């Protein structure tokens, strides 16, 4: 009892002090408001207290007209009951659907409204358009925040690492990180946006989300389509959805494997099937193809200007194209000489940034740079014969991208090569009489130079895939010469941390003039297991991923499929292997699998061993040569019923896969 009494007394004292504080605060607010209204001597007349009748369950409630509390300089203060609606001095019927009226409020609310005699208008300026965010700067800031919060070295924090699974950042720690980020960038997102940001699983997802929110914010007050959109004949631009002359352009396109020379010649995996030669590996748009799309939407903004350079070009994800894929492009002017561009795709409910770059524009091409690369004093040729480089090395590029004619010199510091300018006709078959802004075919051949160098410097099974360009400078238009003309390319290539290479390249024309330079063309190299490399890219008839035991069983060892490799690159190599061994029908099931990467790999290995057992059986019995992609499997993952594509009558045995 004593404790209750003391508690009650303490609570009363606190409430009294609180009421005194509020009274003082309200008096100060009254003085400030009266001074602002120009009536410093006016007295606040408080109306007599109003009491409102409790509504009857079936009848409407009537309220008296609100009292005028103060009037000054064009404004009057009005007491407005909640849900009040002037209809001849009566309120709205507050009866609900069940016939029960709502209890009216006991406390009146006070607000300022314009006086009818002196209307006051206030101009509301149009919201400022938000530009594209500096995504590399955002990523650097996030990496630093995570490093300080977790103690991890910043160089270990990769954009695609799972914050919880890989870095051990739980939901509480994630909220702390997002809060620090909000303090550093207070104007990037709304409170709702910050809540969504906490749900992102990787730093790359956070950066993509911020970029998309800013892109959405930039959509205010722009005409969509319409007659202001410029005419063009660029091959990738299908529809212009937003345009403002010399400032912003948004466009859409549909990518399809069929009729796209870049995609059909850039598949990871080749010689997929024996029966159907039209089957192909996983189509991936080369980085230079994304640069062409970004350049086209940029050119629509760069009125009376040439694209003379690119800086900070980054591929943030793989642009794989299984069937058709919609792409959104956005370019916005940063200043008189720079235009920022981004490429987005939709993945489920999320919009993902695949690529971005800043384009340098000018009214004329600049003079060549002076920091040029020296030629080798004593050329060291390689054993690869000119004209058959791709067949000898296993480079995956199709004939439409095979423009490196010879490697004239190769050592630990780089190489020199002869590269042909390929014809650009029918790059995209749906577009006729088109012109490209860049030359994605030739630029991809420059990227291949790091690939050839990696095959000699690392292992013969090393794949080097480009993802970033620090600076590309053009001194002549693209193309600068006719198709089939040869150029001389000098490349200095060096290894960088985290399985990366970085190349500087100079390209010389036949007349001895400098065409373009590239500085800091970075690629990530993947050391593939030898058997897997030969299976996907060399595809000899005897190459198998599984082995035959003495008792006639087929076995596959998961140790030959290292988890670290198949988890690298965002899991791209699982998709590559799936495309090589699965039929078109089975690929649909693959894309719909909702399993962790290790479980997806096991799902795939069970089907590989079953298919190769059947292929071996048919070859021994009937001399029938088949590839795994020729065999369709149905079943529960343990017992499979096989079917050879394009055959109906053949009876095949059931295949049972067990785990030892």
**Which contiguous run of DSSP H or E holds residue 396?**
none
> d(Cα 439, Cα 420) in Å, to the nearest integer?
12
Exposure letters 515-527 (e unless 16+ CB within 10 A, then b): bbbbbbbbbbbbb
Supply the pLDDT for residue 347. 81
300 and 179 inside one domain: no
Contact indicator for 108, 50 with CB cutoff of 8 Å: yes
> d(Cα 264, Cα 255) in Å, to the nearest integer?
11
Burial class (CB in 10 A: 0-12, 13-18, 19+), 191: exposed
Tally of structural domains, the chain:
5
112 and 145 inside one domain: no
Q: What is the radius of gyration, based on Cα positions, of the chain? A: 34
Supply the pLDDT for residue 81. 34
Supply the pLDDT for residue 116. 35
Supply the pLDDT for residue 78. 32
Q: What is the dihedral of CA 391, 392, 397, 400, to 10 degrees?
A: -40
139 and 195 inside one domain: yes
295 and 312 inside one domain: yes
CA angle 281, 657, 570 (to 5 degrees): 40
Q: Is 322 a member of any domain?
A: yes
Supply the pLDDT for residue 270. 72
CATH number of the CATH domain containing 353: 3.10.129.110
Cα 335 from chain centroid? Answer: 24
626 and 539 inside one domain: yes
> d(Cα 553, Cα 609) in Å, to the nearest integer?
10
Supply the pLDDT for residue 285. 93
Residues paired with residue 516 on neighbouring β-strands, in sequence order = 474, 507
562 and 435 inside one domain: no
Q: Is 627 a member of any domain?
A: yes
Q: Which of 460, 449, 418 is nearest to 521 (CA)?
A: 449
192 and 331 inside one domain: no
Residues paired with residue 70 on neighbouring β-strands, in sequence order = 77
> d(Cα 115, Cα 120) in Å, to the nearest integer?
8
Give me the helices (H) in 568-639, please. Answer: 572-581, 584-592, 597-622
Q: Is 269 a member of any domain?
A: no
Which residues, at least 6 apart from 99, have a Cβ–Cβ distance to it below 8 Å? 57, 58
> d(Cα 400, Cα 283) in Å, to the nearest integer?
14
Q: Is 235 a member of any domain?
A: no
Contact indicator for 657, 606 with CB cutoff of 8 Å: yes
The two tokens of residue 344 are 């987005």
Residue 310's CB: how many other CB atoms inside 10 A? Answer: 24
> d(Cα 330, Cα 244) in Å, to the nearest integer?
12
The two tokens of residue 284 are 């991936």
Residue 252's CB: how many other CB atoms inside 10 A? Answer: 15
Q: Is 448 a member of any domain?
A: yes
> d(Cα 477, Cα 308) in Å, to the nearest integer?
8
Contact indicator for 616, 586 with CB cutoff of 8 Å: no
Which residues, at least 6 apart from 442, have a Cβ–Cβ distance to it below 8 Å? 403, 419, 421, 422, 478, 479
> d(Cα 522, Cα 505) in Å, to the nearest integer?
11
Q: Which of 611, 603, 596, 600 is nearest to 642 (CA)?
A: 611
Among 165, 187, 217, residue at a domain's last position: 217
DSSP string, 509-548: -TTS-EEEEEEEEEEEEEE--HHHHIIIII--TT--SSEE
pTM of this structure: 0.65
Among 168, 189, 217, residue at a domain's last position: 217
If you search the block for the tokens 């993902």, which residue do you land on?
A: 352
Contact indicator for 339, 302 with CB cutoff of 8 Å: yes
Contact indicator for 90, 63 with CB cutoff of 8 Å: yes
461 and 382 inside one domain: yes
Domain that holds residue 21: 1-36
> d(Cα 289, Cα 504) in Å, to the nearest integer?
20
> d(Cα 392, Cα 382) in Å, to the nearest integer?
12
**Max CA separation in the chain (angstroms):** 110
Cα 457 from chain centroid? Answer: 32
Q: Which of 153, 154, 151, 130 is nearest to 142 (CA)?
A: 154
Among 217, 241, 261, residue at a domain's last position: 217
26 and 66 inside one domain: no
Q: Is 176 a member of any domain?
A: yes
Exposure letters 294-308 (e unless 16+ CB within 10 A, then b): bbbbbbbbbeebbbb
pLDDT along the chain (660 residues), means of 10: 38 48 53 45 37 32 32 30 33 34 32 31 33 73 88 86 86 82 73 70 85 50 44 86 92 86 85 81 93 96 93 92 89 96 88 94 91 87 83 84 93 94 71 78 94 88 91 91 91 88 96 95 89 75 71 78 84 89 89 85 89 87 88 86 79 80
Contact indicator for 450, 466 with CB cutoff of 8 Å: yes
179 and 99 inside one domain: no
Q: Edge-to-edge strands of the sheet including 655-656?
A: 631-635, 639-644, 655-656
Its sign, for the CA torsion 383, 388, 390, 394, is negative
The two tokens of residue 430 are 């749906």
Q: Is 432 a member of any domain?
A: yes
Strand 486-496 and strand 414-420: the pairing is antiparallel
Supply the pLDDT for residue 424. 72
Which residues, at least 6 apart from 391, have a Cβ–Cβ distance to it below 8 Å? none
488 and 585 inside one domain: no
434 and 458 inside one domain: yes
CATH number of the CATH domain containing 182: 1.10.1200.10
Q: Which of 447, 448, 424 is nearest to 437 (CA)?
A: 424
């Amino acid at each position: 009892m004593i404790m209750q009494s003391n508690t009650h007394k303490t609570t009363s004292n606190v409430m009294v002090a609180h009421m005194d504080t509020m009274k003082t605060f309200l008096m100060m607010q009254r003085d400030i408001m009266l001074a602002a209204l120009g009536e410093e001597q006016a007295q606040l007349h408080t109306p007599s207290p109003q009491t409102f009748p409790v509504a009857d369950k079936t009848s409407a409630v009537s309220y008296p007209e609100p009292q005028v509390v103060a009037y000054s300089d064009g404004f009057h203060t009005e007491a407005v009951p909640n849900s009040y609606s002037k209809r001849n001095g009566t309120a709205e019927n507050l009866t609900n659907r069940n016939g029960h009226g709502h209890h009216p409020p006991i406390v009146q609310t006070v607000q300022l409204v314009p006086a009818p005699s002196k209307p006051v208008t206030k101009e509301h300026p149009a919201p400022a358009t938000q530009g594209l965010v500096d995504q590399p700067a955002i990523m650097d800031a996030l990496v630093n925040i995570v490093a300080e919060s977790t103690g991890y070295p910043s160089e270990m924090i990769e954009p695609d690492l799972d914050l919880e699974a890989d870095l051990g950042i739980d939901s509480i720690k994630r909220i702390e990180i997002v809060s620090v980020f909000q303090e550093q960038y207070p104007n990037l997102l709304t409170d709702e946006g910050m809540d969504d940001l906490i749900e992102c699983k990787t730093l790359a997802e956070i950066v993509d989300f911020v970029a998309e929110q800013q892109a959405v914010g930039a959509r205010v007050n722009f005409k969509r389509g319409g007659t202001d959109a410029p005419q063009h004949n660029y091959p990738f631009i299908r529809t212009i959805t937003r345009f403002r002359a010399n400032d912003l352009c948004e466009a859409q396109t549909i990518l399809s494997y069929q009729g796209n020379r870049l995609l059909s010649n850039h598949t990871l995996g080749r010689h997929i099937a024996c029966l159907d030669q039209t089957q192909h590996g996983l189509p991936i748009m080369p980085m230079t193809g994304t640069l062409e799309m970004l350049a086209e939407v940029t050119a629509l903004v760069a009125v009376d200007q040439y694209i003379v350079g690119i800086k900070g070009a980054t591929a943030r994800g793989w642009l794989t194209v299984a069937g058709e894929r919609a792409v959104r492009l956005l370019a916005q002017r940063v200043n008189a000489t720079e235009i920022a561009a981004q490429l987005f795709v939709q993945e489920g409910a999320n919009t993902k940034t695949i690529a971005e770059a800043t384009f340098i524009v000018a009214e004329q091409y600049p003079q060549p740079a002076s920091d040029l690369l020296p030629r080798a004093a004593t050329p060291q040729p390689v054993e690869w014969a000119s004209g058959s480089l791709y067949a000898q090395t296993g480079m995956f590029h199709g004939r439409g991208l095979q423009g490196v004619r010879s490697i004239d010199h190769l050592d630990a510091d780089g190489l020199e090569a002869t590269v042909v300018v390929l014809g650009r006709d029918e790059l995209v078959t749906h577009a006729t009489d088109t012109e490209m802004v860049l030359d994605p075919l030739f630029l991809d051949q420059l990227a291949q130079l790091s690939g050839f160098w990696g095959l000699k410097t690392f292992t013969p099974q090393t794949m080097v895939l480009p993802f970033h360009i620090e600076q590309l400078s053009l001194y002549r238009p693209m193309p600068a010469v006719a198709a089939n003309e040869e150029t001389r390319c000098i490349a200095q290539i060096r290894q960088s941390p985290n399985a990366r290479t970085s190349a500087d390249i100079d390209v010389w024309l036949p007349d001895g003039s400098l065409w373009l330079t590239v500085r800091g063309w970075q690629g990530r190299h993947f050391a593939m297991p030898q058997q897997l490399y030969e299976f996907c890219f060399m595809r000899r008839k005897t190459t198998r991923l599984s082995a035959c035991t003495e008792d006639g069983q087929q076995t596959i060892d998961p140790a030959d499929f290292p988890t670290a490799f198949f988890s690298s690159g965002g899991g791209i190599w699982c998709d590559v292997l799936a495309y090589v061994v699965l039929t078109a029908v089975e690929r649909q099931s693959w894309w719909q699998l909702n399993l962790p990467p290790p479980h997806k790999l096991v799902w795939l290995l069970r089907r590989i061993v079953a298919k190769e057992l059947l292929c071996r059986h048919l070859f021994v019995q009937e001399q029938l040569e088949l590839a795994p992609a020729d065999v369709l499997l149905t079943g529960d993952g343990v017992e499979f019923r096989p079917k050879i594509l394009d055959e109906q009558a053949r009876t095949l045995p059931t295949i049972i896969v067990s785990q030892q």
